[in-house]
Structure 1
């Protein structure tokens, strides 16, 4: 049988504005992720909890989030309403996120045991709500488009709206406007303004994202449509996890990069790096501004590269460039007599630090963004392999590894901070630089990230779904949907792939 399937039959596309609008769902959840980084200061400085207590509870909350994620995915895969599968989940979970922040940032009204109980309950409630909306970003992408030239575009819009709009501009607003407005302190007035802005903007972005996915939130775009194999039992779901090696490999790599993204956006780390190591907390906002144009250019280049060479190639390139950026930062910091004077004195060290820092942030955030799109490839691979459409489960497997990895971030930060003498409270930006703080800053900025990036590189090199393999995946799905050939004569990606590619055959269902 001919393995050639017409492109217009093999791929279903989306309008550019639909991709852009739907990417705002990730921005809506990332706003909460960004704001969540300030919870440590609220919990210790206003609610009165100890540093290690806060860091360990935050780690527990993220771990709990990961444990329940597969259940959330299974629930999502069985949702079907007259308004679609994804839009009702987006709306309800965003309302729940608003309620969760109302509780989390009013804990100072409780004391003693009740404070701890309410803190744990609010964290768990927040994580459940966050997981539902965040998972939609991964789960809905296979329905949005399967065109290999369109899928990388999600990363461009996500970079503009999330990486730049939420994290970069968000840091500028906090460090250069909100923080000075409240005397440089994270006080109750600061949180009142900050949290109100977060919940309102996130709600607006969620509505826009619902509009973006509305045309494709239909059964005909879910896997094989009406021919999709039903997934009912735990054994069925386990067969997906057990037999899908690309899922296992990329989930671990994505979790590693998520740990770095979480580490760099945590306000304790930002304060140590900019407020103490460099001696100017306001630099965090300035460098966030400086990185906007370079980030857009780099992401555009990586996206073009991805559309030509595949998502795996662009992911690998990004991790390699991240390692180079970290090496550059290490060279600047370890050769400086006084790191607080790097930006005061200017010159080559300042330029190299800016280049290294921008590179570090860009090449950390790009993999965490593009993995959302690569999850759609894995969903399609599973449809071609078994006939099942389980984008919810696959999305939450990524969330599971993300949560486990990112749960380590506050724990690692807590132990590093406690280890350098700050067991009762996180260091403020006004702390003078000491040898201990320098060691802690370098550990969080360079040493831990370098080791984690090496692990991610090793894993992504093992990932099998290159551009050639994905062409075969889409051809197989198209052939099955159109019923052009008998099942035993269809292009079999499980057993027939060119030796020159990384064959999908290596990932044959292990149950067979």
Structure 2
């Protein structure tokens, strides 16, 4: 039987404002992810690249990102300074993101082979610094708190600041204010104003996140503290991955969900769905506004489920809701005679489609948010198993599968767009609705439906439920106590 003292000391907690502030690190990187969704319009409309070339370059850059991610994780695990492990990385990577965007969105000043080379170099540099700051969000979770009643709270703050603040409000601002302000076009003036705002806001959010993790960015919160087992060789790192069922299962789920989220938030998809198929691009911003309150309420319900039962349960429920919502949208689009009249005529079908879209958007992004917390459980699981603290490597294993999967999203969209007749540029909202365009949207919604089912099957095999994590934290506390008496 475990002693009362051991039960008492197995958890270390964070203050509520620390969890809230640190969650802004994810918002800081998600701002760049949101802005990155407009790169295809800059690259084809201003820089003059062909549609398939842009899709392939973006896909190749994300694939490179995935390949180098484990290296970033290994470096992060070995990295530590008098200012902490995570804070210096957050600061310098955010500065790097600013520099990468300045170069990336200036490639129209070059021409020929040099233009392609500069664009690719800027993409690669962007992916490296983006991965560093993004990985910190996952890697620092075990140090922030290991209390199962606190860890799920991260998703609430992340939903407010990222899903609502960045993606929902960002879409509202772009579709209802910035785009109309510049004549409904994604021109150079639009990008200048848009990107300046992204850079400034992201820098502010990063600063607040650094403040949030400051107290916990210390060796005593890294695994077993001073007695953490050193991870030196490639064989040591391989042993972390080999046979680690929770890591492999969740990494596969995370990669598939990242592909879905990337596809459904891509501006080309939103322009085609709302601007052409539904006949009203501004509707994308209006529905983003409508999803704010339901988004928050649903995530609060999922979080209560996670704190009362476990993270696996809330993840599974979100996948089921996502499947039903996507299926509803597909059936409405497939059976409607003229999809451009769905919201013009209003009525039950319009309400049903709007509810399904909001539910789909919420449940497509929630698993990506909760996986940040679940990766902390896996990091603790590894510490209890081997005595190692390798949250950086574990975080970048998720980034690896994310990057490989999401690298396929722009390539997939590029092929679908080219397949429906747009080989030289992405369609804008002024294009007329054709049968090919409608079929393209049905394909872009049908693929996520299939992938949701695969994720549902995989997550059922995930072993770290509440009882398992109780044993993990007791094992870690026991190792620390043994060291005190040696």
| TM-score band, normalised by shorter chain | over 0.9
- Preserved contact between residue 29 and residue 134 of structure 1 (Cα < 8 Å): yes
- Preserved contact between residue 253 and residue 456 of structure 1 (Cα < 8 Å): yes
Instruction: Look up the match of 1:152.
Output: 152
Paired with 1:391 and 1:415, the residues of 2 have a C-alpha distance of 36
Paired with 1:93 and 1:452, the residues of 2 have a C-alpha distance of 32
Q: Which deviations, in whole Å up to 9, do the C-alpha atoms of 1:359-405 show, x marking residues without a partner?
A: 10011110010000000000000000000000000000000000001
Asked whether 1:301 is paired with 2:323, we answer no
Q: Which deviations, in whole Å up to 9, do the C-alpha atoms of 1:54-94 show, x marking residues without a partner?
A: 00000000000000000000000011111000000000000
Instruction: Look up the match of 1:352.
Output: 352
Greater mean deviation of Cα atoms: 233-242 or 322-331: 322-331
Asked whether 1:39 is paired with 2:42, we answer no
Q: CA deviation at 1:485?
A: 9.9
Paired with 1:247 and 1:124, the residues of 2 have a C-alpha distance of 27
Distance change in 2, residues 1:335/1:3 (3 Å): farther
Instruction: Look up the match of 1:140.
Output: 140
Distance change in 2, residues 1:344/1:113 (3 Å): same
- Preserved contact between residue 3 and residue 475 of structure 1 (Cα < 8 Å): no
SS in 2 for 1:447: helix
Instruction: Look up the match of 2:476.
Output: 477
Q: CA deviation at 1:4?
A: 6.2
Matched ranges for 1:316-355 at <5 A: 316-355=316-355
Q: CA deviation at 1:243?
A: 3.0
The list of structure 1 runs, each at least 4 consecutive aligned residues, that deviate by more than 2 angstroms after superposition, is 1-8, 484-487
Instruction: Look up the match of 1:129.
Output: 129
Q: CA deviation at 1:345?
A: 0.2
Q: CA deviation at 1:265?
A: 1.2
Q: CA deviation at 1:5?
A: 5.7
Instruction: Look up the match of 1:242.
Output: 242
Instruction: Look up the match of 2:391.
Output: 391
- Preserved contact between residue 13 and residue 145 of structure 2 (Cα < 8 Å): yes
Instruction: Look up the match of 1:456.
Output: 455
Instruction: Look up the match of 1:407.
Output: 407
Q: CA deviation at 1:267?
A: 0.5
Paired with 1:3 and 1:158, the residues of 2 have a C-alpha distance of 36
- Preserved contact between residue 169 and residue 288 of structure 2 (Cα < 8 Å): yes
Paired with 2:355 and 2:381, the residues of 1 have a C-alpha distance of 38
Q: CA deviation at 1:236?
A: 0.4
Paired with 1:463 and 1:110, the residues of 2 have a C-alpha distance of 49
Q: CA deviation at 1:452?
A: 1.1
Asked whether 1:226 is paired with 2:229, we answer no
Query: Structure 2: any 5+ residue segments left out of the alignment?
Result: none
TM-score, normalisation: structure 1: 0.94
Paired with 2:4 and 2:456, the residues of 1 have a C-alpha distance of 34
- Preserved contact between residue 4 and residue 475 of structure 1 (Cα < 8 Å): no
- Preserved contact between residue 62 and residue 406 of structure 1 (Cα < 8 Å): yes
Q: CA deviation at 1:442?
A: 1.4
Greater mean deviation of Cα atoms: 325-334 or 11-20: 325-334
Matched ranges for 1:97-116 at <5 A: 97-116=97-116
Instruction: Look up the match of 1:23.
Output: 23
Instruction: Look up the match of 2:211.
Output: 211
Paired with 1:485 and 1:37, the residues of 2 have a C-alpha distance of 52
SS in 1 for 2:460: helix
Q: Which deviations, in whole Å up to 9, do the C-alpha atoms of 1:248-304 show, x marking residues without a partner?
A: 010000110011111111100010110011000000100000000001000000000
- Preserved contact between residue 76 and residue 392 of structure 2 (Cα < 8 Å): yes
Paired with 2:102 and 2:7, the residues of 1 have a C-alpha distance of 49
Distance change in 2, residues 1:406/1:4 (3 Å): farther
Q: CA deviation at 1:220?
A: 0.1
SS in 2 for 1:478: helix
Q: CA deviation at 1:222?
A: 0.3
Asked whether 1:179 is paired with 2:179, we answer yes
SS in 1 for 2:301: helix
Paired with 2:8 and 2:324, the residues of 1 have a C-alpha distance of 41
- Preserved contact between residue 69 and residue 131 of structure 2 (Cα < 8 Å): yes
Paired with 2:276 and 2:116, the residues of 1 have a C-alpha distance of 31
Query: Structure 1: any 5+ residue segments left out of the alignment?
Result: 488-512
Paired with 1:277 and 1:339, the residues of 2 have a C-alpha distance of 6
- Preserved contact between residue 6 and residue 478 of structure 2 (Cα < 8 Å): no
Paired with 1:71 and 1:198, the residues of 2 have a C-alpha distance of 28
- Preserved contact between residue 52 and residue 418 of structure 2 (Cα < 8 Å): yes
Instruction: Look up the match of 1:431.
Output: 431
SS in 1 for 2:428: coil
Q: CA deviation at 1:335?
A: 2.0
Instruction: Look up the match of 1:189.
Output: 189
Q: CA deviation at 1:6?
A: 4.0
Q: Which deviations, in whole Å up to 9, do the C-alpha atoms of 1:178-213 show, x marking residues without a partner?
A: 000000000000000000000000000000000000
- Preserved contact between residue 479 and residue 485 of structure 1 (Cα < 8 Å): no
Instruction: Look up the match of 2:446.
Output: 447
- Preserved contact between residue 319 and residue 457 of structure 1 (Cα < 8 Å): yes
Paired with 2:483 and 2:238, the residues of 1 have a C-alpha distance of 30
Instruction: Look up the match of 1:262.
Output: 262
Instruction: Look up the match of 1:500.
Output: none
Q: CA deviation at 1:3?
A: 7.1
Paired with 2:4 and 2:55, the residues of 1 have a C-alpha distance of 54
- Preserved contact between residue 255 and residue 401 of structure 1 (Cα < 8 Å): yes
SS in 2 for 1:465: coil
The number of aligned residues is 486
Asked whether 1:84 is paired with 2:63, we answer no
- Preserved contact between residue 252 and residue 401 of structure 1 (Cα < 8 Å): yes
Q: CA deviation at 1:332?
A: 1.5
